[in-house]
Amino acid sequence: MQLEAQNIALKKAKEDKKAGKNQYVVFNIAQEEYGVEISYTREIIKSPQITRVPNSAQHIIGVINLRGIIVPVVNLHDRLDISEDNLNFAEDEERIITIEINDLTLGLRVDYIEGIVWLDENKITDPPESSDGPRRDFLKGVCPRNENHLLILLDLEKTLMYGGVNFAD
Amino acid sequence: MQDNGYLDLFFAEANEYIEVLNNGILTLENQPDDEDAIAAVFRAAHSLKGMAAAMGFANLTELTHQMENKLEELRAGKLVVTTELIDLLFAALDNVQLLVKQIKENEGEEPAEFNFGDLIVKLSAYSENHEKEGSSQKQDSSTEKSLTLSSEEEKELAVEKKAKEKIYQLGVSIAEADFANVRAFMVFKKLEELGRVFKSNIAKAEVEDYEEDIDELEFYFLSWLEKAEFEAELEALSNASLNYLQEVKLQDFQSSSERESGELKKTNALNSFQSNSTVRIDIAKLDKLINMVGELLINKTRLQSLNIGKSKFNEIIPQLDRLTMELHHIVMQIRMVPVGVMFSRFPRMLRDLSNDMGKDIDFIMSGQETELDRSIIDELADPLTHLLRNAVDHGIEAAEIRKEKGKTEQGKIELKAYQKGSEIIIEVVDDGAGIDADNIAAKAVEKGIISQEEVEQLDKREILDFVFHPGLSTASKVTNVSGRGVGMDIVRNTVKKLDGQISIESELGKGSRFTISLPLTLAITQALMIKIAGDVFAIPINAVSETLTMETKNIKQLRGKDCIVLREQTIPLVSAAEIFAEEDFEAPKEETDKLSVVIIKNADRQIGLIVDQLLNQQEIVIKSLGNYLQDIDCISGATIIGDGDVALILDVRDIIA
């Protein structure tokens, strides 16, 4: 029975994908809502002890032990140039989203997780011009979540690209 | 429907042999004389036939039997490789492949009918027209060979033979009857330089007092040399002439006994297949196994740190410790390969190179049996090739110049491997011109790598190190052998990538010595755990010379830098916190006049690293930081420590550089 239910859900996901719908993991950083495509994400974990890596790039917080694999964790505040004023630092809500991208496993540290939503790809638009928002070149676009606020969608390949690591290849 | 376990085994092995055959026949097409390829395809065909017979696949047995026959004749030198033969072998192989596929589709039964066409007839008829013309008497003179091995001796030989040694059967006749005893003795002496005598018709000890005429000496002989090299050495003998020389494979003994016992029985075939005591393993599986042993070690360490005071616990932990250590040891052993496997290509290369350049060079190799991790060996061939080429090209001078300088006209290049503690050392030594440090310094200044003032501060060793700098080649003339100016840079990078170190010693006019030191394995090592700026770090123990506690008042100054004088040696001091602490990190303001110092070494340089605290020594599993964190300065990797946290591994080379 359970299998059947799963199959139905899978089928639905496929149909939705055809209809231009995709699932996004929504999280919060500095009181803003962000979303990343669920296909990149592997799991959401409570932040374990992060070991700082000296001499690494500014946005690398450090590395964690994910079941025996060393996984770098990225600080999205730094990467997106978000001011730290609005950081919501409740340690017990802080999470790491592990993502897999071009054979690399990385962790994204976020303030807290909101949930998973279905978004209509057709409704995603270019981010509005504004001076104080996150870096525009890392964004895939924005999507209206409800009447009064927008969900900011990250282009993960661009966000995580730096130095010698270029996912566009 | 046959037993599935055997069937799976059959398909797995069959496909492997088909691949070997495919590659081997391809090689033969291009290099008809490649004896290794001939031996490999013969073995594969032989094994495939054995398996097919054991499984009762008559068609497959027949087909592979025909292939084996032709290959055997090829191996014995009775046939030569022609396009026609290659085509026939490929056609046969295609049919083998088709048959195996059909057997698979047919659920383990051979198809009732299989049409080979005239392939079998053609194959078996092939030899009649293409006997090797005047096949050399040396090889065909099997009647002359009177020295044979008993089956006990064959077994003994199989044990005695090292992995990369070859077995030769040879006979020499003594040139002249006068002093035949002495001449025979000289033959023994020469042979002992080339390898080991396993059996001879007259023992070495008997030779001197041998009463009867010695006209022929026959040997079973073990040597690292390739047949061609061996033959060249033997033909240079002045006291005797070579009658025959044949390489003998261990499996020849098996196949000869099979022939004696007549038709191969099905059960025998299966047995001979199983009696082979080695297996080939996919390297990826081995790596996975090593990773898992690594995990086990980490968890063992975590368990140990729990420190449960129960007596049962204290009883189990040492047992677990022993088991994991043994497991680790065995897994590491599996990966070890003698360096001779790689070295064997060099004598030929050196001979060709020195001929090309008209230099007379004595090339000596030693320590071929030294074992190294397989992955290291694969990577090491190119750097060594480069160093040896350099030694021939830039190192050894032309004979006239050597004579002028009062050296022997023949130059000498040595390639040595040996183990030193937990490291493997490989040296390339030449007695050539040496490297001119002044010249290097001038070049480095000229290329803007360093300023004149800075260069004057450096000692000779530091200047010689510029040889590894990208874009600095000292060959005043670019030859096609070396001197492109990128080589030495790549050599150092490759060695560094293997977690090894390379250093140069050179004396102008006397020669140079390149020393590469490598860790025994890449995966697991002993490390000293330390604390820097509140974080735990690991230093591989092979980079640590010693640890000590010193008083601040004992810090000396040399050219404005902190130093420590240790047994009359001045060693610079570096604060680890300056390299590794965050900018805003503030050391706990404990006024202390005691400092913990780790003396770390890279090649022959030392630095005293001041750390917060010395912790313990433990075994660590080295893990990569992955592709996202590449080339982090002063960090070479990471490991997981007892509490499950990550500790970074210091890159001693970066710190000292």
CA A75 from centre of chain? 11
- Say what the pLDDT of residue B586 is: 62
The DSSP secondary structure of B107-164, one letter per residue, reads: TT---S----TTHHHHHHHHHHH-BPTT--HHHH-GGG------HHHHHHHHHH--TT
Residue A49 carries which side chain, given as an amino acid letter? Q
- Interchain CB contact of A65 with B (< 8 Å): yes
CB contact under 8 A, B628 and A165: yes
**Interface list for B 109-148 with A (CB within 8 A):** none
Question: Could you report the per-residue pLDDT of A108-146, keeping only the tens digit for each?
Answer: 998 889 899 888 888 888 877 765 556 777 888 888 877
The arithmetic mean of pLDDT across residues B114-136, rounded, is 64
Residue A77 carries which side chain, given as an amino acid letter? H
- Say what the pLDDT of residue B134 is: 41
CB contact under 8 A, B628 and A52: no
Contacts of A49 in chain B (CB under 8 A): 644-646
| Nearest of B557, B596, B558 to residue B577 by alpha carbon | B596
| Nearest of B397, B396, B398, B384 to residue B349 by alpha carbon | B384
Residue A63 in contact with residue B644, Cβ under 8 Å?
Answer: no
CB count, 10 Å around CB of A153?
Answer: 22
Among candidates A48, A65, A72 on the partner chain, residue whose Cβ is nearest the Cβ of B628: A72
- Say what the pLDDT of residue B650 is: 92
Beta strands in B296-341 (DSSP E): 336-338
Cα distance between residue B645 and residue B524, in whole Å: 17
Whether B390 is catalytic is yes
Cα distance between residue B196 and residue B244, in whole Å: 18
Three-state DSSP class for residue B390: helix
The single residue of B68, B154, B258, B505 carrying the catalytic annotation is B68
Q: Could you give the ipTM of this predicted complex?
A: 0.81
Question: Could you report the per-residue pLDDT of B623-638, keeping only the tens digit for each?
Answer: 878 778 877 888 888 9
- Say what the pLDDT of residue B136 is: 39
Residue B504 in contact with residue B464, Cβ under 8 Å?
Answer: yes
Among candidates B629, B635, B645 on the partner chain, residue whose Cβ is nearest the Cβ of A72: B629
Question: Could you report the per-residue pLDDT of B586-644, keeping only the tens digit for each?
Answer: 655 555 678 899 999 887 789 999 998 899 888 888 887 877 887 788 888 899 887 77
- Quick one: tokens of B509? 């006019």
Residue B196 in contact with residue B221, Cβ under 8 Å?
Answer: yes
| Nearest of B374, B78, B72 to residue B249 by alpha carbon | B72
Question: Could you report the per-residue pLDDT of B184-207, keeping only the tens digit for each?
Answer: 877 887 787 778 888 888 777 777
Residue B102 in contact with residue B126, Cβ under 8 Å?
Answer: no
Cα angle B339-B342-B347, degrees, rounded to a multiple of 5 = 110
Between B558 and B277, name the one with better pLDDT: B558
- Interchain CB contact of B611 with A (< 8 Å): no
- Which region among B55-59, B281-285, B323-327, B435-439 has the lowest average model confidence (pLDDT)? B281-285
- Substitution target in B295, B646, B650 with the highest count of A β-carbons within 10 Å is B646
CB contact under 8 A, A53 and B626: no
- Interchain CB contact of B633 with A (< 8 Å): yes
Contacts of A56 in chain B (CB under 8 A): 629, 632
Cα distance between residue B242 and residue B176, in whole Å: 14
Question: Could you report the per-residue pLDDT of A27-79, keeping only the tens digit for each?
Answer: 988 888 899 999 999 999 988 889 999 888 888 899 998 877 889 999 887 77
CB contact under 8 A, A48 and B644: yes
> Counting runs of H as helices and runs of E as strands, what totals does chain B give?
24, 22
Which domains are present in chain B? 4-135 (1.20.120.160), 137-255 (3.30.70.1110), 292-331 (no CATH), 340-519 (3.30.565.10), 524-656 (2.40.50.180)
Q: Which fold has domain A20-160?
A: OB fold (Dihydrolipoamide Acetyltransferase, E2P) (2.40.50)
Between B397 and A17, name the one with better pLDDT: B397
Contacts of A55 in chain B (CB under 8 A): 579-580, 632-635
Three-state DSSP class for residue A12: helix
Among candidates A55, A60, A65 on the partner chain, residue whose Cβ is nearest the Cβ of B646: A65
Cα distance between residue B352 and residue B229, in whole Å: 12
